[in-house]
Structure 1
């Protein structure tokens, strides 16, 4: 019998740490299954899902850049994700059906769940699939005005309207407003991408800077925030948080407890 497996798909995908995370948990729990990374282009997305639908060993996949929106067209949307977050990052098998869901919102919020963001101003950089999940989470905790910085301000304005958030949509070149939380949801700062060049001076001393990029782990944005003495949240925290939710969905058991430090050491070596 073929071993069950799951995977992460994207373009590019070589940088993904998801196989390390899921592989670590599978080994800890002595589960006889695999988790791998698979390069899938936009043109190959439909064929990918058709092939996997026919493979009984396939448990599902995580979905990363740039497929979080497009993958919705190839799966069932039983949780009405299209009408809420509008993007998926996880696909699960249910018999012959493929079900799309999103674990990014929960993964993003987990590291900052102890903060009281009620009525607080927030800045979000980017307006892609990850931004949608993050704005969804922020809308649920009652944040104040949200400023979206994006290459296309019109796209940012549409997202504010989608999630019922008050605020402004500005170009990336705009001056950073004061905010309690700054979140980079874009690929800027990722290995092979231009850095996210922001003047952090307008942020108050108790602001938090959160960068969901994890390759490199210490992005130029987080370096600049640390130099200013600001608290930071790196991309590994969201990555592991969303992966924990996905792991339980894919393999039917929660990740092992008490080994977060060991996992982080593995991911940062």
Structure 2
């Protein structure tokens, strides 16, 4: 499949929008590692067969996992780090030294990296979404002891359960509901992604010091970020988290730290 080169993949449904191959191939080339990284379209009813097939392929080093498989994949791999009980979603699967496949999550660290220097302890946050990415976000927020968290989601009961799970105080609201001011506004849903519905929210009542953080990276400049920029609000796009979580996964797959000193060059490549 890859001329006997070690390789990793990113799987999802849809998957054509993923920029992960650009990132990993850029790092592989910079480091001179003879390996490959690619897209692979996996529908929900194909996930079990995909994992079974890759388990038998000695060249396969692992995969990044995106929508909609971050929860379902936990049923097919081992969980030595207790990810199911902590974050509750996996975004990375890799092969252990004994050949076993295990899952982990690099999303929480990738999400937190761009805001590590922002004093968010005790500050209120709004999060859109309650899926795998949102769970990584909530896990990270619980570790920095933010104030009240408002989750906006179609399924309010699911969102309320996540607040309880991560020990966060706050509320769950349906889409279209008025939400309170916050220091950080995060879109952790697929809304706004190419091929998905737009995220429709009114940012007018948010304070001038709010950070608007959209995890969507296809397109990079989402309607949400455009609206935030029109108000001169600070924004963080999905590339920040994408590169951050990819860096951790790259080391797991290929055994070397990525050359992060080339991040400016990589970002230009991703935006081309």
Q: TM-score over 0.5 for the alignment? A: yes
Matched, 1:155 2:158: yes
Does 2:41 match 1:39? yes
Shift of 1:212: 0.2
The alignment of Structure 1 onto Structure 2 pairs a total of residues equal to 269
The match for 1:191 among 189, 194, 199 is 194
After TM superposition, give the deviation of residue 257 of structure 1 in Å: 3.2
Return the TM-score normalized by structure 2. 0.98
Structure 1 unpaired stretches of 5+: none
**Do the aligned partners of residues 187 and 257 (structure 1) sit closer, same or farther apart at CA in structure 2, a change above 3 Å counting?**
closer
Length-normalised TM-score, structure 1:
0.99
Q: C-alpha displacement at 1:203, in angstroms? A: 0.7
Matched residue, 1:82: 84
For 2:73 and 2:188, locate their aligned partners in 1 and report how far apart those are by CA, in whole Å. 19
For 1:92 and 1:206, locate their aligned partners in 2 and report how far apart those are by CA, in whole Å. 40
Runs of 4+ aligned structure 1 residues displaced above 3 Å come to none
Give the distance between the partners of 2:14 and 2:195, measured in 1 at CA. Answer: 11
Alignment partner, residue 31 of structure 2: 29
Deviations 1:91-119 (A, max 9, x none): 01013200100000000000000001010
CA deviations 1:15-71 (Å, max 9, x no partner) are 000000000000000000000010001101000010000000000000000000000
Q: Which residue of 2 aligns with 1:131?
A: 134
Looking at structure 2, the residues matched to 57 and 197 of structure 1 have their Cα atoms a distance apart, in angstroms, of 44
Deviates more, 1:203-212 or 1:88-97: 88-97
2:241 aligns to what? 238
- Which residue does 1:223 correspond to in 2? 226
Q: 2-side partners of 1:262 and 1:111: how far apart?
A: 18
Tell me, in whole angstroms, the C-alpha distance in 1 between the residues paired with 2:116 and 2:82: 24
- Alpha-carbon distance in structure 1 between the residues aligned to 2:217 and 2:179: 23
**Is contact 1:176–1:199 with CA below 8 Å preserved after alignment?**
no
Gaps of 5+ in 2: none
SS of residue matched to 2:261: coil
